A and B are shown apart, each in its own frame.
Chain A
Amino acid sequence: MSPGASPLEIDGLSVSFRTPEGLVPAVRDVSLRVAEGQRVGVVGESGSGKSTLLLAVMGLLDHGVVIEGGSILYRGRDLRSSSAEELRRLQGSEIVMVFQDPLTSLHPLHTVGWQIEEAITCHRDVGKAEARRIAVSALRDVGLPEAARRARQYPHELSGGMRQRVMIAMALALRPSLILADEPTTALDVTVQAQVLDLLEDVRSEIGAAVVLVTHDLAVIAQRTDRTVVMYAGSIVEESSTARIFRRPRHPYTAALMESLVRHDVRPVGELPFIPGAPPAFPPPEACSFAPRCRYAEELCWTVAPPLRIVDSDHRSACHLAESFDGEGVRTK
């Protein structure tokens, strides 16, 4: 493992589900690189493969979901060939996961304080008393009122927002270099969501961690990430800096997604734009998976799957027409 290597490098990763009908691809030939301290947003809808991607990184794929090819490197170390023990060690110290419902990542039968203390004593060279002090301090830092009392409570005694704060406190205490978050605030009230995202950013910037934030929420992506990766039907269809993608998307799906977004800050005028149809369940390998819903689709789109390629400075798109595509981007006031 080389400390200087990037926190996460995924190369040509393919993941499929085993079904009675055969292997169904969920992630198809995905490559992406996360730089030190970078915030990468992965956005997509149902069937995009974004959550499967994250689970594959941590070796948490369900039985019956298989990695068919590609590599996953954490600081140069191949996670695919790491043992379960090695992965577990990494998970607690250098990579922290924040999932939508922390009830599934927090142990229900231990107090939240104990769980953070355990993680600390496992991965840092401190004694139990010091670990307890760090844990309570972290809980306080994430804005949990009466931190010492809360530390002695069980996950089910805390609200959703508080549980997420506990996960962030764990990140603060462990000082990981990579945080993997899958819809971390989707289940929370909007006022709580804003606070939790703010907190995550404060902690992240303090410890200098990189973040991979998986979400369906374009607004969260826009305001909280440096780079955006757009996934559709298992593949990356567009990738660039967040500012660039929102200013001028270079893939019809990205543009259509932004256009059809229902926004609270825009006065409705007539019918809302929408993308007809729905994401494909079984995209054919020799065509663009978005062609059936794309208003620009040409013959080539139906016969050749467009590769993800560089179409502009620091901008990749999987569209045959990307160069001539003049996406509208978002309305900026």
Chain B
Amino acid sequence: MSDVSITIKRGEAFALVGETGCGKTTLARCVVGSIRPSEGSVTILGRRVGTRRKELQKVWRDVQMVFQDPHSSLNPKRSILSILETSLRTRGVPRGRIRDEATTLLQRVGLDPAHLDRFPHEFSGGQRQRIGIARALAMEPQLLVCDEPVSALDVSIQSQILNLLKSLQRELGLSYLIITHDLAVVRHTADRVAVMYLGRIVEEASTDEIFASPRHPYTKALLDAVPVPDPAVPPWKRTVLGETPSASEWQHGCAFRSRCPRADELCERQLPLLAPMGADRSAACHHPEDLPEDLPPSDGSFP
């Protein structure tokens, strides 16, 4: 991961999207303090994320993580109450109030508090993901880092969890850092998006802008490649070929040039840096995509 800078505002949902090897998971780990960056820093609510345990413990009051796999992220030997209790006690909730607080948490994520004494295996995948969210909320964080929050869930359950994340954002004023490869998840949960490729941010914009007018050829290729559940729409247009090279294969110039239909000599010589592409958006490309002829109407419907 190189030279990555992002700012997440209070109450904002920020998505980091990219494919294998883009660095998004590494970035998420830096944000929660489990990896130390080689250069640069992560600052949360004005407090720098350091490496010493005492510092991290303060950070973990403000930042919590929701994991991808609801099956392996909950201790199977502990009841839900017990799992929530750990976080609640860390926050300083007195023993007498634990059950009440846990009840509120389960209700908030749409689960029946009567199930507090049950064990993870008694719940479905979607319910376990809700428990994971409840556990994260137990610390009363300001920022939730969600790593592929719905990719391990059945299709008919995914929308339930996305609805929950959105309503929690509203109710509690939470900020989100959503790590995902799934553009549909981005569309439905994020206010802003950063697209990553081989460790760098190649484009950043509001969600509406990214979907309506992608400027970086990789962003456009990603959007073109996602299949659409409509037999009337012909599948994928060949805009980009091959696979992401390994980091060691790319030596100079733009990391995307080996797969980019617009790449030329300049792209081979010079690494493009993020440049403004509008009021509050940027892209790192020497030859950004043209703006579509007719930008969509202001209601944002996709052309």
The interface of chain A, by Cβ under 8 A from chain B, is 45-46, 143, 145, 159, 161-162, 189-195, 197-198, 216-224, 242-243, 246-247, 256-258, 260-268, 271-276, 278-279, 330-332
Contacts and interface: CB of A to CB of B under 8 A. Distances in A.
Contact of A330 (B19, B158, B230, B240): B230
A192 B231 CA distance: 21
Contacts of A161: 243
Contact of B184 (A221, A264, A278): A264
B234 A223 contact: yes
A262 B229 contact: no
A274 B163 contact: yes
A257 B230 CA distance: 13
Nearest to B227: A219
Nearest to B246: A159
Interface string B177-191: 000011111111000
A275 to B, nearest CB: 4
Q: Which 6 A-B pairs give the minimum distances between C-beta atoms?
A: A219-B227, A189-B19, A272-B159, A264-B183, A194-B236, A223-B235
Contact of A257 (B125, B156, B221): B156
B243 A256 contact: no
A260 B243 contact: no
B228 interface: yes
Interface of B: 19-20, 124-127, 150, 154-160, 162-163, 166, 181-188, 208, 211, 221-236, 238, 240-244, 299-302
B20 to A, nearest CB: 5
Contacts of A264: 182-184, 186-187, 211, 223, 226
Contacts of B241: 143, 195
A162 B229 contact: no
A219 B233 CA distance: 10
A17 to B, nearest CB: 17
Contacts of B302: 265-267
Contact of A223 (B156, B231, B300): B231
Contacts of B231: 222-223, 242-243, 246-247
A46 B187 contact: no
A193 B301 contact: no
A177 to B, nearest CB: 24
A273 B159 contact: yes
Contacts of A263: 184, 187, 228-229
B301 to A, nearest CB: 6
Contacts of A222: 227-231, 233
Contact of B235 (A198, A267, A332): A198
A139 B208 CA distance: 41
Given A261-B155, A262-B159, A272-B163, A189 B181 contact: yes
Given A190-B181, A264-B211, A278-B124, A218 B159 contact: no
Contacts of B188: 262, 268, 272
A260 B229 CA distance: 12
14 contacts: A46-B125, A159-B243, A191-B221, A191-B225, A194-B227, A195-B236, A219-B228, A247-B231, A260-B159, A266-B302, A267-B300, A271-B163, A276-B160, A330-B229
A190 B160 contact: no
A127 B202 CA distance: 51
Given A161-B243, A272-B163, A332-B230, 13 more contacts: A145-B242, A159-B243, A189-B181, A193-B227, A194-B236, A219-B229, A221-B229, A223-B227, A223-B231, A223-B233, A263-B228, A264-B187, A264-B226
Nearest to B212: A267
A192 B243 contact: yes
A245 to B, nearest CB: 9
Nearest to A224: B235
A332 B231 CA distance: 9
A195 B188 CA distance: 26
Contacts of B299: 267
Nearest to B242: A145
In this complex, which of A192, A198, A260, A267 has the most chain B Cβ atoms within 10 angstroms of its Cβ? A267
B243 A162 contact: yes
Contacts of B181: 189-190
Contact of B155 (A195, A198, A243, A260): A260
Contacts of B185: 262
B162 A272 contact: yes
